[in-house]
């Protein structure tokens, strides 16, 4: 599918400064998969426009700079998103994420804690009032006419930032889905504001759905057809959602996940001997105690059979999400590696993955890293959301991934068999998986040619 506004690549010098506003939807920068996509995106933009102004919406601007010195983080409260970084910002960001991260996130948590306590008190008061109201009155007053966040005005800071941008770039992620409705509405509202102000919008590396909520579906129908270009990270569900929303085919391209480029290397580093493991546990990915114990016993047993080291791998650092669920899985194993510390570069996690012969994971981006390196994956899911993610990956790479359900009564037997099968097939599938990774990287570069054309067209018009 070819984007209909794509222009010929221009070698002419910039007419006016290119200003790219990135909506990453991971405002605390605690997900290493999202950080990998952001790193690839900024690198591609910088390669094309060394002098462009790149701004990323975030709650932790200094941490953003520490991870990405050539970009600038801006909050929705920034008075001028396009002002150049100050000397103090440059100095603090140069200290690096290992130093900056704990400090700035501590401050953010404190700022969030007070309003949360206030909201909790307000909710308790509201419940008290409702309990004293007649039943019908309480029922009528508690039913909203629209979902929270639907159609609300964007924050003045975000609005001002997008109005002066050459392009709004909505970074890949899995947030346009029923299980993250509040964020989906925030992104739809920001896109709508950009379109209303004549600012082009590109959405890249998107994983859409499940999207069954009628209000979210309605918003998708109102907003997505106005987006100039959309690239998808899978081709099983996303294209159907965009078709239902009324997005023309010529504005859509399937590219795979942008993090594939960060994980892949041209030189084959050779097959590893470790078994990587990550068990994702969250409200959107529930795991029973019985399933967690089954995973622990099986991975330790099979690792012992192959004299293999178990490697705990961490993607989601928010509230130590993956650490709390994964480290107990490897504890007590005959050989277990130490987890990487917090605030590392995503490439360091890729290096850990590359030492593995097999990966067992409930985290989507670890599967992206492994498959891109030619390493087979045993994926663990407990929801339709993760079923879709992993099946989309399996389709993109033409295999190499075995999907298991954590509520399967035969989980132990199936998990052991899947790890052993993956171990035996590791050498056979390696070249094919790496070949698929190269193809998706190529298509990702093609998608960014469309992104470049959009921003350059706006720059010339403004000039």
Segment 45-97, tens digit of pLDDT: 999 999 999 999 999 999 999 999 999 999 999 989 999 999 999 998 899 99
Helix axes 214-223 and 238-245, enclosed angle (nearest 10): 70
Mean of pLDDT over the chain:
90
pLDDT bin (cut points 50, 70, 90) of residue 108 is confident
Whether the Cβ atoms of residue 151 and residue 220 lie closer than 8 Å to each other: no
Where does 233-306 have alpha helices with state H? 238-245, 259-263, 289-305
Task: For residue range 340-389, list pLDDT tens digits in order.
Answer: 999 999 999 999 999 999 999 999 999 999 999 999 999 999 999 999 99
Positions of CATH 3.40.50.2000 in the chain: 267-437
267-437 folds as: Rossmann fold (3.40.50)
Main-chain dihedrals φ then ψ at residue 328, nearest 5 degrees? -65, -20
Using alpha carbons only, give the angle 68, 72, 78 rounded to the nearest 5 degrees. 150
CA–centroid distance for 164 within its chain: 26
How far from each other are the two terminal CA atoms of the chain, in whole angstroms? 31
Q: Which of 261, 280, 329 is nearest to 47 (CA)?
A: 261
Lowest-confidence segment of 2-11, 77-86, 228-237, 327-336 by average pLDDT: 2-11
The percent of the chain in helix, strand and coil, each rounded to the nearest 5, is 55, 15, 35
pLDDT for residue 319: 87
pLDDT for residue 6: 40
Pick the CATH number of 19-98+146-261+441-462 from 3.30.70, 3.40.50, 1.10.3470, 3.30.420: 3.40.50
**Calpha distance 345→47 (Å, rounded):** 20
pLDDT for residue 294: 98
């Amino acid at each position: 599918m070819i984007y209909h506004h794509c222009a010929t690549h221009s070698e002419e010098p910039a007419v006016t400064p290119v200003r790219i506003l990135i909506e990453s939807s991971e405002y605390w920068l605690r997900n290493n998969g999202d950080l990998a996509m952001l790193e690839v995106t900024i690198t591609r933009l910088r390669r094309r426009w060394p002098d462009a102004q790149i701004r990323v919406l975030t709650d932790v601007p200094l941490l953003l700079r520490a991870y990405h010195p050539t970009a600038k983080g801006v909050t929705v409260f920034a008075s001028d998103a396009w002002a150049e970084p100050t000397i103090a910002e440059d100095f603090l960001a140069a200290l690096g994420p290992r130093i900056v991260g704990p400090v700035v996130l501590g401050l953010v948590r404190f700022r969030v804690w007070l309003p949360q306590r206030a909201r909790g008190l307000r909710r308790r008061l509201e419940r008290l009032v409702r309990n004293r109201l007649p039943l019908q009155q309480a029922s009528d007053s508690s039913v909203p006419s629209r979902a929270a966040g639907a159609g609300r005005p964007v924050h003045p800071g975000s609005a001002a930032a997008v109005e002066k941008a050459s392009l709004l770039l909505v970074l890949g992620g899995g947030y346009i889905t029923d299980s993250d409705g509040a964020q989906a509405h925030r992104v739809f509202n920001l896109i709508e504001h950009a379109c209303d102000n004549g600012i082009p919008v590109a959405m890249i590396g998107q994983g859409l759905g499940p999207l069954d909520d009628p209000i979210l579906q309605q918003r998708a129908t109102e907003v997505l057809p106005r987006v100039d270009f959309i690239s998808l990270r899978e081709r099983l569900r996303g294209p159907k959602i965009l078709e239902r929303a009324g997005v023309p085919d010529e504005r859509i391209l399937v590219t795979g996940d942008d993090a594939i480029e960060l994980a892949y290397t041209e030189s084959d580093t050779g097959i590893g001997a470790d078994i990587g493991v990550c068990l994702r546990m969250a409200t959107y990915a529930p795991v029973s105690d019985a399933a967690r114990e089954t995973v622990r016993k099986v991975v330790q047993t099979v690792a012992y059979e192959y004299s293999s080291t178990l490697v705990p791998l961490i993607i989601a650092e928010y509230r130590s999400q993956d650490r709390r669920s994964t480290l107990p899985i490897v504890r007590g194993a005959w050989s277990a590696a130490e987890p990487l510390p917090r605030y590392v570069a995503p490439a360091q996690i890729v290096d850990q993955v590359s030492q593995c012969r097999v990966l067992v994971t409930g985290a989507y981006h670890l599967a992206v890293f492994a498959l891109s390196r030619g390493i087979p994956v045993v994926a663990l899911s407990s929801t339709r959301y993760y079923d879709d993610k992993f099946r989309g990956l399996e389709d993109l790479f033409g295999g190499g991934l075995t999907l298991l359900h954590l509520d399967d009564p035969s989980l132990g037997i199936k998990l052991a068999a899947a790890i052993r099968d993956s171990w035996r097939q590791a050498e056979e599938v390696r070249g094919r998986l790496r070949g698929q990774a190269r193809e998706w990287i190529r298509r990702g570069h093609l998608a960014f040619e469309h992104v470049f054309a959009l921003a350059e067209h706006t720059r010339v018009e403004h000039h």
